[in-house]
Amino acid sequence: MKKLVLLAVLITSLELINGALRGPTRLGQRIPKYVININRNERIVGGEPANIEQFPYMLVLIDLSRGGFICGASVIHRQWSLTAAQCLDKNTPAGSINLRGGSRYRTFGGFLFFVDFYVLHPQYDSYLLEFDVALIRVADDSPMNGLNVAIVPISPICNTSCCHTCEYRLVTITGWGYNENGVLSSGLNQITLPIYNHSACDAAWQGIPDVFFCNWAGDGKDSCNGDGGSPILRDIAGQRYQVGIVGFGSTVCGDGSYPSVNTRIEFSGVRNWITEVSGV
């Protein structure tokens, strides 16, 4: 009997490893396929070097309790920054969190900003990664302005008639994550990708709610570990706006198997919350 039990456990484990079990349940509900294939905290694959002068609102998010750099973030106000909730969902004390801006380098240069507190979206789901957005407020004595540090406007609420994250529109993603060689980048990188058809993305991942939008080039270019929380930018009528936050993607970045998935700022439940908390 023990041999049969061990054999059953072994078979189940192998099926999980091979991705054969696609329909587990949680509280009686089917878990979307995207949870099974998820790779959090994306990185830039197939990108090119960027200067901080091009993207002066880029921030390095540092968690001292976890060894340093963990994510990207963006300046949306002189005392507020925006990032992904998954970067801050470890209950880390605010005193262990720092932000650094004004340098294209991940580990040196620029300015260090001390954090007063941070807030995760109340609907954030650390399992499904829905409402994957967080706000960070810096201390009063370290406002985020100065050389090579600037504020990026964020997208207003927008419906389908003025959708800033609808398919085929080009967006730019920046970050310090791992490159295609699996090496954590020392300098800021950028990549331009088209927004992917939402219905097709939903079909690929088997369940992508409207709070997300997707990118997919299918040519080895991708956002994939280390760039979670970084801004996704789009030029609208001559003005650059942040329209999204880097979220998650395929377990094999840049292989063209799955689109990358990001938080949609113009989604009312996201944009209204940002205003309620920060006034932005």
Residues in the chain: 280
In percent, the amount of the chain with pLDDT more than 70 equals: 74
Mean pLDDT for the chain overall: 80
Q: DSSP states of 194-249 as a string?
A: EEEPHHHHHHHHT---TTEEEE--SSS-EE-SS-TT-EEEEEETTEEEEEEEEEEE
> Comparing C-alpha atoms, which of 130, 272, 133, 280 is closest to residue 210?
130
Residue 58 has pLDDT above 50, yes or no: yes
d(CA 261, CA 243): 13
In the numeric block, which tokens belong to residue 126? 């650390």
DSSP at 149: B
Query: Which pLDDT tens digit goes with each residue over 81-112?
Result: 999 999 999 889 999 999 999 999 999 999 99
Q: What is the pLDDT of residues 102-142, one digit of tens each?
A: 999 999 999 999 999 999 999 999 999 999 999 999 998 77
Average pLDDT over residues 59-80: 93
Domains in the chain: boundaries? 39-48+153-266, 56-151+270-278
What is the CATH number that goes with domain 39-48+153-266? 2.40.10.10
Matching CATH topology for 39-48+153-266 and 56-151+270-278?
A: yes
CATH code given to domain 56-151+270-278: 2.40.10.10
Q: What is the pLDDT of residue 219?
A: 59
What CA–CA distance (Å, rounded) separates 273 from 263? 13
pLDDT tens digits, 199-242 = 999 999 999 999 999 988 665 565 655 578 999 999 988 899 99
Q: How far apart are CA 75 and CA 146, in angstroms?
A: 12
In this model, does residue 17 exceed pLDDT 70?
Answer: no
CB within 8 A of 279, min separation 6: which ones? Answer: 77
- Residue 51 pLDDT > 90: yes
CA distances from 158 to 161, 162, 166, 266, 267 (A): 8, 6, 11, 6, 7
Q: What single letter denotes the amino acid at residue 135?
A: L
Helix (H) or strand (E) holding 134: strand 134-138
